Structures are given as structure tokens and as C-alpha cells.
Structure 1
Amino acid sequence: MTPRPLFLYALCGSQRQVSTSRRLLEALQLACPEGITIEICDLIGDLPIFNPDHEGEKTPPVVEKLAEKIRKADGLIVSCPEYAHGIPGGFKNALDWLVSRDEVPFKPLMFAHASHRGDLVLEQLADVLRTMSLRIVSEAFLRLPIAGKSDELQAEALAEARDNDLLLTSLSRFADAISAEG
């Protein structure tokens, strides 16, 4: 039996186009085996500041678009740097828009971390995401410390991770966990 195709939606905690978190997500996107597609979210920077008065019928269209992408996803990948010992404000704002919605509960989630440190943000994110009832797939956790390295060293590390199947292994573990839940 051929496994069904999987659509994964990747959320980047940094809004910089050249961030190492985004670069890691792009490397995962390129490493996808047949049957897995990753789309990197480009909506987070466009979200208005969360206000509960603007939920329901007043929900902004960009929030609805983000929620629809998440609804369609078989799983989420989160790559987020640590800013000032915490979750970057724009990313936390995106999560706040999703808290009371029905797209995220029990959705499988994989962390892809681009730093050798930043465990505080991982702990904070895990706490927030579990509170939102997302299912963190710990066996798929990917840490590739490319933050703070030159572009050349980042490219080398990403190529090595691709060549030694580190990226593929994490994606495969995530896909297996999604498939196992039916």
C-alpha cells in the first residue's frame, strides 16, 4: 500500500528572509522525499496584533488564510529562534490568533532548530503549543546548529545534513508519526 501524500506547513519564528530558521526550513523543503510537500508560511509578518474583539465574524482575512493553510496541513514544522530569552513577538502573535480556533488541536508538530542553544525558546514554545493541544512529535526533533555561522559554513552544514540523511531522517520520523495516527 502506497502511503498517502503529506502536506506539511512550516512556520518560521523569524521574519527575516535570510534567517537561519528559514534557511533550515528551506533545506527541509528541498530534502522532501516523494509524497511529502512542505510549504513555508509567508503570512506571519502580515498579521495584525491579536485582539479577541476581532475574532469570529470580525476575523481578518489574513488570519483566515493562515488558519485554512493549517487546517489543510497534515502536520506543522516550527523553526524559531530565541529572542531576548523568549518567543519572538510576531510569532507569539500568530499563535495567539490560533489559540481559540479549531485548526490546531491534535495537529502533529515537529521542531526544526537552527542553533546549538536556544533551549529556553523550545521549552516556552512546547509549553504554549501543548496548551493549544498540538501534538509535538519529539522523535522527529531536528537540531542543526547553523546560527551565527557564515553563509558558506551554513551551506556546508546544510549540504552535509542532506547528504548524511539527517534532514530526511527527521522528516521520515515525522511522516511515520503522522501516518501511525491514521
Structure 2
Amino acid sequence: MEIIRILALSGSLREASYNSAAIEAMQVLAPDNIEIDICSIGNLPLFNPDREGERIPSLDKLVQALKNSDGLIIASPEYAHGVSGPMKNALDWLVSGVEFPYKLIMLINTSPRASHAQESLREILKTMSGIVVEKASVSIPLLSSELGVSGIVKNIEMSITLMAGLNEFCAEIERQKLNKRVN
């Protein structure tokens, strides 16, 4: 069975982030043929187009991870009805690269009532020519749950939801790979 490599980004910098915990739980739950690489966006400098082309180690690592991935998982909180600053900053750094367009994307929403940021994120990703796999995108009710990684993994309903999304995402990745081979 071929390895599927997925890059995962959390839009939260909080140590006890529900978004980070959801991604880490998915990493624990994933079967052996699915590698989920979690990349931090916290060390990226503020986006400045004048710095494009400059060697920035945290950006180089992010770009290389994206380039090596078959897909991208994003879990990001909503702040004041918008996308988190760190996530928007990371996407701004990636907007002019050749690695992002047509990348398959799975979204995880850890607060189902937080719909404004999810819609804004979808618009940003669409504008960047990313492909959000809607059938793979999931919501899990983590807000105020106080669940960490192990709590999410042990919660049957949340684990099933995350794995159903991941399975759908990987199936779409496989379909895309097959289409590229055939064409």
C-alpha cells in the first residue's frame, strides 16, 4: 500500500489548543500508510512581500513540507468572526508559491458554532487555487470540552468523525493520483 503524506497546520498558537489537539489525535488514529506531518506556523515572521525570496528557515520548512505532501489538513479557530492571524499569515506566505495551487485540503472545525472563519477560510483557499474536499471536512464539538489528544482519541464519536473525514480525504487523494497516472 502506497504511503500518503499529509501536512497538517493548526491556526492556533495556544499550548492547550483544541485545533492542535484535533490534528494530533488524527495523527494518533491514522493507519500506518498515512503519515501526518504537523508543521508549526508560529515562527513565521509577519508577511511582507519585500521579504519574498529571502531565506527564512521557518518558511523554507513549511514550503518543503507542503511540496512533499499529497494533501493539507487545516484546523483553525475563529477570532472575531475571522481566520486566526497566524493562519492568515501562513497562507499569505504561501500565496505566491507553486506548491499550493490545486492542493487537496481537509478542514477541521473544532467549534461547530464558529462558521464565519470557516467560510472565510474556504474563500481564501479557493482564491489561492486550493481544493477543499468538502466531503472530508469535519466539525467536532471541542469548545469547552477540556479534552486533549488522549480524550479525543478515547471519545468514540469524535474519533469516528475524524477518521471518516480522513478516510474520505485519502480516498480523494488516491483518486487524484490515479487520474494523474492515467492522463
TM-score, length-scaled by structure 1: 0.91
Which residue number corresponds to residue 120 of structure 1?
A: 116
Secondary structure at 2:135's aligned position in 1? helix
Which residue number corresponds to residue 81 of structure 1?
A: 77
| CA contact 1:33–1:168 (8 Å) conserved in 2 | no
Match of 2:89 among 72, 87, 93: 93
| CA contact 2:103–2:130 (8 Å) conserved in 1 | yes
Deviations 1:109-141 (A, max 9, x none): 001111121110000000000100111100101
Aligned residue-pair number: 177
Return structure 1 stretches of 4+ with deviation > 2 angstroms: 154-158, 160-167
Check if 1:22 corresponds to 2:20.
Answer: yes
Deviations 1:65-88 (A, max 9, x none): 110110001100000010111011
Displacement after TM superposition at 1:151 (Å): 3.6
| CA contact 1:31–1:162 (8 Å) conserved in 2 | no
Pairing of 1:86-165 with structure 2 (within 5 A) = 86-151=82-147, 156=151, 158-161=153-156, 165=160
Which residue number corresponds to residue 161 of structure 2?
A: 166
TM-score, length-scaled by structure 2: 0.90
Displacement after TM superposition at 1:161 (Å): 3.5
Check if 1:46 corresponds to 2:70.
Answer: no
Displacement after TM superposition at 1:95 (Å): 0.6
Structure 2 portions without partners, runs of 5+: 178-183
Q: CA 1:50/1:149 → structure 2, altered by over 3 Å: closer, same or farther?
A: same
Q: CA 1:162/1:39 → structure 2, altered by over 3 Å: closer, same or farther?
A: farther
| CA contact 1:21–1:80 (8 Å) conserved in 2 | yes
Indicate the RMSD between aligned Cα atoms, in angstroms. 1.8
| CA contact 1:9–1:77 (8 Å) conserved in 2 | yes
Q: CA 1:107/1:53 → structure 2, altered by over 3 Å: closer, same or farther?
A: same
Which amino acid counterpart does residue 119 of structure 1 have in structure 2?
S
Displacement after TM superposition at 1:90 (Å): 1.4
Structure 1 portions without partners, runs of 5+: none
CA distance in 2, matches of 1:159, 1:178: 27
| CA contact 1:14–1:80 (8 Å) conserved in 2 | yes
Check if 1:34 corresponds to 2:32.
Answer: yes
Which residue number corresponds to residue 6 of structure 1?
A: 4
Give the percent of matched residue pairs that are identical in Structure 1 and Structure 2.
Answer: 37
CA distance in 2, matches of 1:98, 1:63: 9
